[in-house]
Structure 1
Amino acid sequence: MTITKDSKVVIVGAGVFGLTTALHLSRRGYKNVHIFDRQPYDKNRYAVSLGADAASADENKILRASYGDRKLYQDLAFTAMPEWRRWNETLASTPSDELPSDLTQHTRLWDNCGYVRLSDRGLEDSEKETQKHFPAEVKYTQYRVSDEQRRADATRDGIPASKIDPFGRLDRALPTDGVLDMTAGYVLASRACSFALHLCQKAGVKTYFGADHALRRLVQHDGRVLGIESADGNKHIADLVIVACGGWTPSLVSQAEQLLETTSGSVLSIRLPEDRPDLWDKYSPEKFPVWDFNMGSYEPYKTIGGIYGLPRTPEGVVKIAFRGAKWTDYSRNSTVSGMPLSYPKTHVEKVPEEAMRVIRGFCEENLPDLIELDLEYERLCWYTDSVNNSFLIDYVPGTGNLMVASGGSGHGFKFLPVLGQHIVDSIERKETQYTRLFAWREVPHGSKNGLEEGPGGWRRLDKQKMVGRDTWKPSSKL
């Protein structure tokens, strides 16, 4: 199989992996690129409030290069940051009437507000590895929370004290350590996807959105994929099909079942009242950082950890999320093995009680002004974890003309502007350090990032008590 610049490429899935693939295919001169998705992204512009339910559709996502000893991901994140800045600059120089309705010249997709990674048990091992591997030229941007001199340095450098100790834990003499990383921040996720889609369409990528264009099946013959059949019954013949369907990927490509697992995080959002300028100021990205707490030391049903949050959005929404437990929903069976598969259970307006316990417990101690407010919404955000948290981007073994681009493992969004160049390298079968990193792999022995639990694991949603906003405030009981 030889793919040329005139070959017809069909991408199934218009989230981060699909968008970045289409964008970089067009930049490299491919002229016949088509994206299909069951969601009406041309209408809802990836907005959660309008029904978008993919992992890529979100208020905001963390942009950071803190990867411990995983230097290739660290380097890729540092490569992405200037590209995000260029997207900000492009938006600022484009007349608003030439942009999608959810974007204006004043939209800042990337906000370099800083990211404080906290623990009440000393500096976590992952942070020690990150600091060990960060380039020397960015060391000055790293402020140790427990170091009085580095806190003074942060003040000298014009960084508000609220960014290094956003919860006042030092003032309250609570155990606190960590690092404020001023290379990091967040991106406005749904609007970033909307902008990437805009760039794809400007480059000539053809898009097919809505229920009629959902994938019904892959069209196959003699071990080759000839194209796709959409829900409306039409067949779309292609030279190459790329499945980039996030949490739906394992159920669509059976060969990936042992390498990918669909899991969810728990997300709570609080809208700040318009008549509380004090809260709008406190939680603004100018005063408040991205943060996480005890990300490496959560113990189920015992401790507070595996939790993170972000500053308010321009609309005044503060998001707090729990990823200490990655929930599964084994509600489908493999069409090949017959074994249960975890599958996204979207539009669930509740979260597991354990997630609520952790988030509420943290807020009661550290963010009491938020816990007095009403929740905007509570939801599950469905990701696709790989066996080793590394992306899966490669041709499917034993099946001609079919690729998978998935396995974002909860950290793929930040690479939206740049990941596609490596996906196109994989398409063109170029061997690089990144195509090797993302290549099809053997299932490891022992720990498999939680996948070894299978349907018997404790994280299944049907083993959880689901709770809603009526359990949020301190006066309620869990």
Structure 2
Amino acid sequence: MPGPKRDESIIIVGAGVFGLSSALHLARAGYTNIHLFDKQDFLSTNYSFAAGSDGASADENKILRASYGGQELYQRMAFEAMREWERWNSDMASDKNLPEALKGTEKLWDRCGFLRIEKSFGQHEVDTQNSFPKEIKHTQYRITNQQRTQEATQSGIPASKFDPFNRASRGLKTDGILDMTAGYTLASKACTYALHLCRHAGVHLHLGPSIGTFTSFLTASTKIAGIKTADGIIHQAALVIVATGGWTPSLLPTSQSLLETTAGTVLTINLPPSRPDLWDKYAPENFPVWSWNMGGYDAASENPGGLYGFPRTPEGVIKFGFRGAKWTNYAFPASSGNTKISYPKTDIVAVHSFMCLLRSCWSTDQTDRNQMLL
């Protein structure tokens, strides 16, 4: 089927990371009539969870790494993404018209390193190291190799990044890699920047509970011809893209047998301003992104999964997460039959205080945990 003409209307439902990137790349490819819809007014909330934003994109940070075992497609995409993030850092530094929420932000992507540790050197890490290109081997430091750790410290990498939890000094068995190609992105701020770029690229924004909330598809014969929003307005389009994360199966019935909405557990801690020693200890200059036992999760085994975490954000927030067996919420009626599908339940907050927040982060994958384009 031929794609839309450059001036025909294209609708994107969902202004999270996938919707934003779709809109931005289409605009840069010369499409001039792009409309981005979302029920949330991200222009006001700047994708901040604390300000009420909802979705996987409304998060403090995300790991950016190319360590996918032997999955070289994901590895290649990650390295390509890193180059784009470097460009964004450079472009943002010279942008004189940044949104207020981004002023003072030095960079969106921080290559602070990713420490992947387990009790022993796992097969997933072996596969990762074997598949990495030769030209980046010098960025991979086996933490049990004293020569390599000395070379790292001589090149300016702090020793604290190799054993941030003092496992070696406590005699605890530990092995792994400090991967200096990897790091983290500031997720909410990156989405705010992408929305800013979309506006300047001419993307039409429809954000908010009335004008941005999708209610139904318009059909013409066997094709989708547009959408209807909560304000009753019909929007016709030559192409409709649905990029709604955990809400996708509930909006797109054809995906219900292919996709599953799941949640991981996320904990954030606010460092007290009165503890400059902690701000220094957990700064990305001294503390890496880290994971424990992340290569060992197997749904068929008794291993429940692993932990991961980040250095502090510029605002002093430290995030931890659990990755392995995930939560589901089978509460939404499926489009056919007498079954139900998993649906985001984002109002779950188990612990919430002035220093600590425990919440769920919902996303959607194929049942084999891969991404899908329909």
TM-score normalised by length of structure 1: 0.75
Q: Give the 3-state SS of the residue equivalent to 2:67 in structure 1.
A: coil
The Cα shift of 1:318 comes to: 0.4
Aligned AA (1:250): P
Residue in 2 that maps onto 1:240: 239
Structure in which a larger fraction of residues adopt strand = 2
Pairing 1:284–2:295 present: no
Q: Give the 3-state SS of the residue equivalent to 1:30 in structure 2.
A: coil
Distance in 2 between the 1:100 and 1:65 partners?
Answer: 30
The Cα shift of 1:80 comes to: 1.1
Pairing 1:85–2:65 present: no
Identity over the aligned pairs, expressed in percent?
Answer: 52
The Cα shift of 1:302 comes to: 7.2
Query: Are residues 247 and 160 of structure 1, via their aligned partners in 2, closer, same or farther at CA, if it must alter by over 3 Å?
Result: same
Aligned AA (2:318): V
Q: Which runs of 5+ in 1 are unaligned?
A: 352-372, 395-478
Dislocated runs of 4+, deviation >6 Å: 299-304
Q: Is the 8 A contact 2:260 2:366 kept in 1?
A: yes
Residue in 1 that maps onto 2:101: 102
Residue in 2 that maps onto 1:49: 50
The Cα shift of 1:305 comes to: 4.4
Residue in 2 that maps onto 1:335: 335
Distance in 2 between the 1:221 and 1:174 partners?
Answer: 64
Pairing 1:317–2:317 present: yes
Within a 5 Å distance, the mapping from 1:197-216 to structure 2 comes to 197-212=195-210, 213-216=212-215
Distance in 1 between the 2:148 and 2:170 partners?
Answer: 19
Residue in 2 that maps onto 1:118: 117
Q: Deviations over 1:369-411 (max 9, x none)?
A: xxxx9742111000112133332123xxxxxxxxxxxxxxxxx
Residue in 2 that maps onto 1:163: 161
Pairing 1:196–2:194 present: yes
Q: Is the 8 A contact 2:85 2:108 kept in 1?
A: yes
The Cα shift of 1:131 comes to: 0.2
Q: Is the 8 A contact 1:62 1:187 kept in 2?
A: yes
The Cα shift of 1:239 comes to: 0.6
Distance in 1 between the 2:192 and 2:326 partners?
Answer: 27
Residue in 2 that maps onto 1:10: 11
Q: Is the 8 A contact 1:92 1:105 kept in 2?
A: no
Distance in 2 between the 1:319 and 1:110 partners?
Answer: 16
Aligned AA (2:334): S
Q: Give the 3-state SS of the residue equivalent to 1:183 in structure 2.
A: coil
The Cα shift of 1:339 comes to: 1.7
Pairs aligned (count): 370
Q: Give the 3-state SS of the residue equivalent to 2:335 in structure 1.
A: coil
Q: Give the 3-state SS of the residue equivalent to 1:392 in structure 2.
A: coil
The Cα shift of 1:337 comes to: 3.2
Structure in which a larger fraction of residues adopt helix = 1
The Cα shift of 1:324 comes to: 1.8
Pairing 1:389–2:369 present: yes
Q: Give the 3-state SS of the residue equivalent to 1:247 in structure 2.
A: helix
Distance in 1 between the 2:121 and 2:52 partners?
Answer: 39
Residue in 1 that maps onto 2:129: 131
Instruction: Please provide the CA RMSD for this pair.
Output: 1.8
Distance in 1 between the 2:186 and 2:244 partners?
Answer: 21
Q: Deviations over 1:17-49 (max 9, x none)?
A: 101100000010000000000111111010010
Q: Is the 8 A contact 1:84 1:110 kept in 2?
A: yes
Q: Is the 8 A contact 1:53 1:347 kept in 2?
A: no
Q: Give the 3-state SS of the residue equivalent to 1:168 in structure 2.
A: coil
Q: Give the 3-state SS of the residue equivalent to 1:350 in structure 2.
A: strand
Aligned AA (1:13): G
Q: Deviations over 1:211-246 (max 9, x none)?
A: 112110111232211110101111101111011000
Within a 5 Å distance, the mapping from 1:272-311 to structure 2 comes to 272-298=271-297, 305-311=305-311
Q: Give the 3-state SS of the residue equivalent to 2:184 in structure 1.
A: strand
The Cα shift of 1:107 comes to: 2.8
The Cα shift of 1:252 comes to: 1.0
Q: Deviations over 1:343-368 (max 9, x none)?
A: 000121128xxxxxxxxxxxxxxxxx
Residue in 1 that maps onto 2:216: 217
Q: Give the 3-state SS of the residue equivalent to 1:307 in structure 2.
A: strand
